[in-house]
Amino acid sequence: MRIALDAMGSDICPVPDVEGAILAAREYGETILIVGDEKLIKPEIAKYDSTGLKIEIVHAAEAISMDDKPGVVGKSKPNSSMHVGMNLVKSKDADAFVTAGNTGAAMTIATLFTLRRIEKVKRPALSSIIRVMNGRTIIMLDIGANTDSKPEWLLQFALMGQIYAQKALGLQNPKVALLSNGEEETKGSQLIHDATEIIRASKLNFIGNIEPRDMLEGNADVIVSDGFVGNIAIKTLEAMGSTLFKLIRSEIKSDPIATVGGLLAQRAFRRVYKQVDPFEIGGAPLLGVDGVVIIGHGRSNAKAIKNAIGQARMAVKGEVIQSISKGLKDFPE
């Protein structure tokens, strides 16, 4: 398997990106194509012992920054590492592309300039993969690609999410739910009502509407929402998590006895943190484009990059793209 990695993705690229590529090549034994400015990449690789690792550099003359406007870069930077990396997937020179860069740019370049949509896909969706109670892993989508979604888009998100959960996350018969303000079918917005109707009529394993609490309990595996709502939900989760950790740290530090207690409990805290740390997952797929694209956080460290490459590997092994393509063919319009 050959996985292309955007060396110019993370906020402090190419440092964690290249280190993550080395870690991934070592852990998974796959070929990693490091895409970006070779003058910057070579000295980074030289920092590590890469003997025996399958690493190749693919030069890309341009790089997209977090400040670049997604609507512009598709045309203005045609030689960006994103263009080059995604075109490697398109030409079958790579099986997947991983980036911790500008999410909007990655979406635009994938959807409109390189890979384009899988046939019959109405709208690609951004996803997030999170760990919930009991160590379960779930996928949420859309978390930001589309606002003001139509019911039939949510139906496709549900299908793509169910396939990803099954094929890439390895969940048996994953349960699909719509994120709503209550379980009862009287709850929800008009979009939720309309989407409930068509998803219920499909062959998907749909369990109905779910509230955030039940989502975190792991009562469903695929959480479907409009991108505006999903984005607010995922950002609220992240914000509340980091706020609480910040509060706990500051209160423990403000009191000498608690400081000793905090040190003794440190390993327990680390285990908790590991469960909620997004870097343990690394990234999640942009679903609906015709190739595996995994997007990680701009703040990714090397571990996050390595794990995002691991996500890509599972998606390729699970033949997610082929399954989505086939799933959509059997699907009502």
- Residues in contact with a copy of itself by CB under 8 A are 132-133, 144, 147-148, 179-181, 188-190, 192, 211-213, 215-216, 226-229, 231-233, 235-244, 246-248, 251-252, 254-255, 257-258, 260-269, 271-272, 275-276
Instruction: Tell the smallest beta-carbon distance from residue 246 to a copy of itself (Å).
Output: 8
Instruction: Tell the smallest beta-carbon distance from residue 210 to a copy of itself (Å).
Output: 11
Instruction: Tell the smallest beta-carbon distance from residue 25 to a copy of itself (Å).
Output: 33
Instruction: Tell the smallest beta-carbon distance from residue 76 to a copy of itself (Å).
Output: 17
Of the pair 236, 322, the CB lying nearest a copy of itself is at 236
H/E stretch holding 110: none
Contact between 154 and 199 under an 8 Å Cβ cutoff? The reply is yes
Instruction: Tell the smallest beta-carbon distance from residue 148 to a copy of itself (Å).
Output: 5
Compute the half-sphere exposure of residue 21: CA atoms within 13 Å on the CB side of its CA: 36
Of the pair 97, 279, the CB lying nearest a copy of itself is at 279
Of the pair 92, 267, the CB lying nearest a copy of itself is at 267
Burial environment of residue 94 by CB neighbours within 10 A (0 to 12, 13 to 18, 19 or more):
buried
Integer Cα distance of 259 and 249 in angstroms? 9
H/E stretch holding 332: none
The DSSP result for 42-64, as a single string, is: HHHHHTS--TT--EEEEE-SB--
Q: Which two tokens stand for residue 304?
A: 């996050």
Residues 6+ apart with CB under 8 A from 289: 110, 111, 115, 116, 117, 118, 121, 124
194 phi and psi, to 5 degrees?
A: -70, -40
Of the pair 173, 254, the CB lying nearest a copy of itself is at 254
Q: Are strands 283-287 and 125-131 parallel, antiparallel or unpaired?
A: antiparallel
Of the pair 174, 188, the CB lying nearest a copy of itself is at 188
Beta bridge partners of 4: 33, 97
Plot region of 191 (φ>0 → left; ψ -120 to 50 → alpha; else → beta) = alpha
Bond into 14 cis (ω within 30): yes
Of the pair 52, 135, the CB lying nearest a copy of itself is at 135
Instruction: Tell the smallest beta-carbon distance from residue 100 to a copy of itself (Å).
Output: 18
Integer Cα distance of 123 and 150 in angstroms? 10
Beta bridge partners of 299: none
Of the pair 233, 302, the CB lying nearest a copy of itself is at 233
Instruction: Tell the smallest beta-carbon distance from residue 333 to a copy of itself (Å).
Output: 25
Of the pair 52, 257, the CB lying nearest a copy of itself is at 257
Instruction: Tell the smallest beta-carbon distance from residue 159 to a copy of itself (Å).
Output: 23
